[in-house]
Amino acid sequence: MRLDRWFKVHFPGLGFGPLQKLLRSGQVRVDGGRVKSDARVQPGQMVRVPPLDVDAKLKSGPIAGKDLKHSSDFELLSRMVLHEDEKVIVLNKPPGLAVQGGSGVARHIDQMLEAWISPKGEKPRLVHRLDRDTSGVLVIARTRGAAQKLTAAFRERDTKKTYWSLVKGVPRKHEDKISTWLVKEPTADGDRMRIAKHGEDGADHAVSYYRVVETAAQRLAWLEMEPYTGRTHQLRVHALHIGHPIIGDPKYFDDDPNWDFPGGIQKRLHLHARHIDIPHPSGGRLRVTAPLPPHMVQSWNLLGFDENSAPIRDDEA
Q: Nearest CA to 163 among 259, 271, 294?
A: 271
Dihedral pair phi/psi, residue 316, rounded to 5°: -110, -10
Find out whether 238 and 181 touch, Cβ atoms under 8 Å. Answer: no
How many C-beta neighbours within 10 Å does residue 290 have?
21
Residue type (1 letter), 229? T
Bridge partners (DSSP) of residue 108 are 98
Active site residue 254: no
Q: Return the beta strands (E) in the chain as ranges.
A: 29-30, 33-34, 47-48, 81-84, 88-93, 125-126, 135-141, 160-168, 175-187, 190-196, 204-216, 220-227, 271-279, 285-289
Dihedral pair phi/psi, residue 138, rounded to 5°: -130, 120
Q: Determine which one of 131, 133, 249, 277 is catalytic.
A: 131
Plot region of 138 (φ>0 → left; ψ -120 to 50 → alpha; else → beta): beta
Residues forming the active site: 131
